[in-house]
Structure 1
Amino acid sequence: MTYQDIEALTIKKEGNSLEFKESTGQLDRSMETLCAFLNGEGGTILYGVKDDGKIIGQTVSDSTKRSIAEAVNRIEPFVDLEITYVAIPGTEKYVIVIFVEEQRFMRPFTYKGRAYQRIESTTTVMPQERYNHLLMERGGKYGWEAMINPDLKIADLDENAILGAVREGIRNGRLPETTIREEIPVILKKFRLLNDGKLNNAAAVLFGKELYDYPQCLLRMARFKGTTKEEFIDNQRAEGNIYELLDAAMAFFFKHLSLSGKINGLYREEELSIPYKALRESCINSFCHRSYHHPGSSVSIAIYDDRVEIRNTGTFPADLPIERLMEEHDSKPQNPIIANVLYKSKILESWGRGISTMVGECKRVGLPAPEINTDGNFVWVVFKYNRSSVVVTPQLPHSYPTATPQLKKVISVIGTATLSAKEIMEIMSLKDKTHFLDKYLYPAIEQGYVGQLHPENPKHPGQKYMLTSKGKALLNE
């Protein structure tokens, strides 16, 4: 930094990222401001400048430098600062400049044990709510996924989903065979989901059954007509754990993306307009690496005539710019506990190769590489394709029916029986009848999978439900 740079800065007014101090005699107060800059978008402090921007400078001795160093060391966590001593021409005085860049993934910072924030040109003590929010964003032991939910019980988790994850892990050599014989609490503890008998948020995200307390476990899906959001063709929402949401996402793709056929040797292979593996990898990344701490957040899928956009809350690590994502890089998951379980259960194929898989799959079929974007709050991936270039086949692969996880659950519970709504709810361990009817039973009836014993009188006191031929066919699949 030059003296001309100092002059240019002093023309500006103090604000969110700029502070003037007459001397390091105001060191303590200025460190509070520096802490606030670190908790914001970064900033610069100039010593030897009056509030009105007049440059007066100050003498700098070894004692001055030691005082600054000692004060900076009281900021936690440790951060590398840029300290510059700029000589004032024609004098023996200096302007001392301390500059800090934005440190999004290390916040919150404290000075002498207290956190500060900057509002316009004022530095204040940070409210506890804001401090807790930044702690969750930092991750690690403070991350949202690791936080204990004292109201969450093992009975609230889907035991079949837990054992299914274990079986996949054993089948693919990522878990020892003895794991399947262990009790559920032992498995959860090994997955780092259970500590001292208490479950964390990651357990609900991965294996929760009824997620009333987790509205962010949501997937929004839309098929738009044309290339804008002006008109819907289809609009769906799915709620559930990661495994259920991934199933729902892939079913939606198979419903709305054309299938083409190609001959490979003696066999005909079916291909989506965008490769299945690329879409699946993008969805897995969205569920695995998204920010969950905001209750109103979700993952969204938007299908247009020329592209597919998959969006989630979150951003990339500060030291991993977008341009490096296309290269081989180490994986730094936002939610390491969730990522570890997905890896062990073979949902997450390997560390740090998800994006290269997407790129490779798109190139394999002659599509451009996916575009990856972030604005610091959201990450979205854009897959471009040309619908006119595919040969459409009317049928869907039986392995990926368009039924939602909720619908498939109703069908599996009813099976070959004839049951009342109360009996179905008891088997599914559901207590909210309105939720059950709206999310499970009514959609199954409307789509023709479930029939009524008394269809002429839907409110018949002896009403019971059974699978239709369509429901039985899906059950067999």
Structure 2
Amino acid sequence: MNEKELQLVLEEGEGYKIEFKEALTDIDKELVAFANSSGGRIFLGITDDKEIRGVKITNRLKSQIQDIANNCQPSVKILFEVFKDILVIIVRGGEDKPYKCSSGFYTRVGPNSQKLNRDDIIEFFKVEGKIRFDELVNLKFDYDTHFDPTKLDRFLRLAGISKVLDIPSILINLGVAEKQEGKVIFNNAGILFFAKNLQDIYYHTAVTCALYKGTEKIEVLDRRDFNEDLISNIGGAMIFLMRYLAVRYEITGEPMRKEILEVPYEALREAIINAVAHRDYFEKGTNVMVEMFDDRIEITNFGGLVKGLKPEDFGTKSVLRNPSIADLLHRVKYIEKMGTGINKMRRLVAEAGLPPIVFEFGTFFTAIFRRPARIEPTIFDESGGVFGGVFGGVNEKVAERLGKVIKALYSEQVNISQLAVMTGISKRTLERDIALLKDKGFTEFEGAPKTGRYVLTEKGKKIMGALAT
């Protein structure tokens, strides 16, 4: 331990493998929690607010802590490291789980030690096993070939951590790598976050997004597979959803209008993060699935409920299948607080006036979001009525395309070239569509011929008003 490493620990804050303690109070709880998990370090002399107060380090203090560890059932193996007036207690992951202290059984859930009854914790380790996918090392992952330092930079920026140490030391402190014979060896959590291209190492870690026609899995309209790293996979899935979800605009008095998706953005993002964090990565025959139908969105991962978590406790308690993955997501604020995501999703959907989310869990875990009745872009006649998809002899397909043009013009004032990029419609087709819309009084051109932009008239804005109702 040196000054720079301590600074890094303070910036990282408490996590799955780090605990700050001002005094010995309840330290037996922390010891068994780390022993029942993957081990960790207790920094005695640092407050929860990251203030260094220090402790008087004596042999008597060390003996007292050792006695507490020995009195756990079975005894917890610990080591000591001293840096200035901070005593670091290094707790090894237990080899004879579960461990118990005088107040009960505890396991590590993110930055907290959570109490479990004996039946719960025995069932958890019996079914899930003592080996976790995210903690296994993979010798095929080569530091020089496969590691992407730019993804580590992104992670540190999101987590608010300074790059005060060399890269191997940072990775080791994050708990995603170790040194063996001078080589940096990654565990799977490190690979999932910091691989240049995850597809080169694992093919089953992808998030697959699909858009279907209608309400059944018959005709696929679009599909994308994202398998770069977990953060990029989550981002890619959200971009896919936003590409096809209807948006309405709310005037807030600010310069920018507020975009509101038909299903709350944060609820969908929370569900995808949950699927990525809790899926069973030992099963290599399936991906996380994000599937869009006309009436619903389904987000599915293999693994069901983690054993040890009862259905009646779902949404109120948290048991982690991949604690290292969850810890890293927590550090970059993708997970706010362990065990709160389900209730957050439920609240957001309720506030949007949508039906409750349906959660299904068996071999798979699925979150089903109901979409509101679809309101397609439509064209109004002079009296405000709807032509029902036929616009002066134009067929339904063309009317749908015209609706897409009007929707794009509502979000921005653009020229033909920019509009082509936004809509995916060729310039030649757009010129015909714009001429038709202009002839009917829905659009107009403002500015000089070379630098001007197409905008919606008040009549054209009525269409977006219909979409917002």
1:163 aligns with 2:146: no
Pairing of 1:291-306 with structure 2 (within 5 A): 291-306=280-295
Pairing of 1:324-403 with structure 2 (within 5 A): 324-326=313-315, 328-329=316-317, 331-375=318-362, 377-388=363-374, 394-395=407-408
**Partner of residue 106, structure 1:** 125
Q: Does the 8 Å CA contact 1:258/1:390 hold for their aligned counterparts?
A: no
What TM-score do the two structures reach when normalised by structure 1? 0.51
Shift of 1:369: 2.3
Structure 2 CA distance for aligned equivalents of residues 271 and 184 of structure 1: 40
Cα 1:390–1:103, aligned 2, differ >3 Å: closer, same or farther?
farther
Structure 1 counterpart SS, 2:163: helix
Q: Per-residue CA shift, 1:179-200, capped at 9, x if unaligned?
A: 3222111111111111233211
**Partner of residue 431, structure 1:** none
Q: Per-residue CA shift, 1:59-78, capped at 9, x if unaligned?
A: xxxxxxxxxxxxxxxxx867
Q: Does the 8 Å CA contact 1:299/1:311 hold for their aligned counterparts?
A: yes
**Partner of residue 243, structure 1:** 231
Pairing of 1:50-65 with structure 2 (within 5 A): none
Shift of 1:320: 2.4
Shift of 1:333: 1.7
Q: Does the 8 Å CA contact 2:209/2:291 hold for their aligned counterparts?
A: yes
1:226 aligns with 2:214: yes
Unaligned runs of 5+ in 2: 1-95, 100-118, 378-403, 412-423, 426-469
- The residue identity in structure 2 corresponding to 1:195 is E
- The residue identity in structure 2 corresponding to 1:186 is S
Cα 1:261–1:106, aligned 2, differ >3 Å: closer, same or farther?
same
Q: Does the 8 Å CA contact 1:302/1:309 hold for their aligned counterparts?
A: yes
Structure 1 counterpart SS, 2:309: coil
Structure 2 counterpart SS, 1:221: strand
Shift of 1:390: 8.4
- The residue identity in structure 2 corresponding to 1:251 is I
- The residue identity in structure 2 corresponding to 1:275 is P
Q: Per-residue CA shift, 1:422-461, capped at 9, x if unaligned?
A: xxxxxxxxxxxxxxxxxxxxxxxxx99xxxxxxxxxxxxx
Q: Does the 8 Å CA contact 1:220/1:237 hold for their aligned counterparts?
A: yes
Structure 2 counterpart SS, 1:181: coil
Structure 1 counterpart SS, 2:189: helix
1:284 aligns with 2:234: no
Q: Per-residue CA shift, 1:370-389, capped at 9, x if unaligned?
A: 111111x2111000121336
Structure 1 CA distance for aligned equivalents of residues 331 and 202 of structure 2: 24
- The residue identity in structure 2 corresponding to 1:166 is L
Q: Does the 8 Å CA contact 2:120/2:309 hold for their aligned counterparts?
A: no
4+ runs of 1 displaced by more than 6 Å?
A: 76-79, 100-103, 390-393
1:195 aligns with 2:195: no
Instruction: Tell me which of 255, 259, 262 is aligned to 1:270.
Output: 259
Structure 2 counterpart SS, 1:220: strand
Structure 1 counterpart SS, 2:333: coil
**Partner of residue 169, structure 2:** 186
- The residue identity in structure 1 corresponding to 2:327 is N
CA-based RMSD of the aligned residues comes to 3.0
Q: Does the 8 Å CA contact 1:371/1:381 hold for their aligned counterparts?
A: yes
Structure 2 counterpart SS, 1:284: helix
Aligned residues: 266
Structure 1 counterpart SS, 2:283: coil
Structure 1 CA distance for aligned equivalents of residues 272 and 213 of structure 2: 22
Pairing of 1:3-152 with structure 2 (within 5 A): 105-107=124-126, 137-139=128-130, 142-152=131-141
**Partner of residue 210, structure 1:** 197
Q: Per-residue CA shift, 1:333-379, capped at 9, x if unaligned?
A: 2111111111111222221111111111111110122111111x211
Q: Does the 8 Å CA contact 2:250/2:257 hold for their aligned counterparts?
A: yes
Structure 2 CA distance for aligned equivalents of residues 255 and 152 of structure 1: 34
Shift of 1:213: 2.6
1:320 aligns with 2:309: yes
**Partner of residue 307, structure 1:** 296
Cα 1:322–1:101, aligned 2, differ >3 Å: closer, same or farther?
closer
Unaligned runs of 5+ in 1: 1-75, 80-99, 109-136, 399-446, 449-477
Q: Does the 8 Å CA contact 1:260/1:390 hold for their aligned counterparts?
A: no
Shift of 1:305: 0.7
Cα 1:103–1:313, aligned 2, differ >3 Å: closer, same or farther?
farther
Shift of 1:261: 1.3
- The residue identity in structure 1 corresponding to 2:253 is G
Structure 2 CA distance for aligned equivalents of residues 346 and 106 of structure 1: 28
Q: Does the 8 Å CA contact 1:275/1:361 hold for their aligned counterparts?
A: yes
Structure 1 CA distance for aligned equivalents of residues 163 and 312 of structure 2: 42
Structure 2 CA distance for aligned equivalents of residues 255 and 270 of structure 1: 13
Structure 1 CA distance for aligned equivalents of residues 298 and 260 of structure 2: 19
Tell which deviates more after alignment, 152-161 or 332-341: 152-161
